[in-house]
A and B are shown apart, each in its own frame.
Chain A
Amino acid sequence: MTTGALRLSRELIDEMVEHCFAERPNEACGLLASNNERVVKVFRMTNASGSPVRYSLDAAEQLAVYKKLDREDWELGGIFHSHTHTEAYPSPTDVREAHEDVPYVIVSLADESPDIRAFRITKENWRDEDGLVEEIPVVIEPLDE
């Protein structure tokens, strides 16, 4: 499993940010699909918690996305969510509830322009409440097509 950069196009970043703005005042969330270590699709998901300070995926929606990833032979490339008023850094809740070994992308809407940062949250066991947070670069590159 690589700990390299999150690579995606400006269009996909814009789509993530658009979803984050659209869901205000609640936190937005979504999944990213990747192929050959590049993000290829943004899945805008419903925040089942419907809260400005908490997000959770609806498991049925999540399952539908995972089936799509299988059909397309994509991988789960990341999980994104917004922080409506706080910085783009994993909160204790984010760390506690992080179970996946994929980049966690946080879009902060605290300032005039959104701040987008990505992190790996590494745990010894997936159920651990603590984890090591390491920032990874977000690299914007054009889509091939």
Chain B
Amino acid sequence: MTVQVRIPTIFRKFTNNEAVLEVDPGTVAAILEQIDARHPGFKQQILTDAGDLHRFVNVYVNDEDARYLDKLETNVGEGDTVSLLPSVAGGAPRR
């Protein structure tokens, strides 16, 4: 197991409170499958019903946004770190 996945606080209730998971290299999709196998239901929190990355989640492979790489097919190799980031946004009502 040589890939670290950083789990933000809001997702830790789905990973038995683990903040960092170690998984095998593979695509982002495969990594989510690995986590889901250990923590059933985790994948559903990150993906839409159609199986795409939910717009409220950003996935970084090291310092690159997976959306600008190959999205769920982005390859994650040995020693890489995957970070899951919930989006932070908002706005005032228009006057």
Contacts and interface: CB of A to CB of B under 8 A. Distances in A.
Interface of A: 27, 29, 31, 49, 51, 53-57, 59-60, 62-63, 66, 75-76, 79, 81, 83-86, 90-94, 97-102, 104, 125-127
Contacts of B45: 125-127
Contacts of B85: 59, 62-63, 66
A127 B54 CA distance: 9
Given A55-B89, A56-B89, A85 B95 contact: yes
B14 to A, nearest CB: 9
Contacts, number: 98
Contacts of A126: 10-11, 45, 56, 86
Q: Which 10 A-B pairs have the closest CB atoms?
A: A54-B91, A56-B89, A94-B90, A59-B58, A57-B88, A99-B86, A93-B91, A83-B92, A97-B89, A86-B92
Contact of A94 (B8, B54, B91, B94): B91
B16 interface: no
Interface in B71-95: 83, 85-95
Nearest to B20: A70
B58 to A, nearest CB: 4
Using C-beta atoms within 8 Å of the partner chain, give the interface range for chain B: 20 to 34
Contacts of B92: 27, 53-54, 83-86, 91, 93-94
Interface of B: 6, 8-11, 45, 54, 56, 58, 60, 63, 65, 83, 85-95
A121 B56 CA distance: 16
Nearest to B10: A126
Contacts of B11: 126
A57 B87 contact: yes
A128 B28 CA distance: 24
A101 B9 contact: yes
Given A63-B60, A66-B85, A97 B90 contact: yes
A57 B89 contact: yes
A32 B92 CA distance: 20
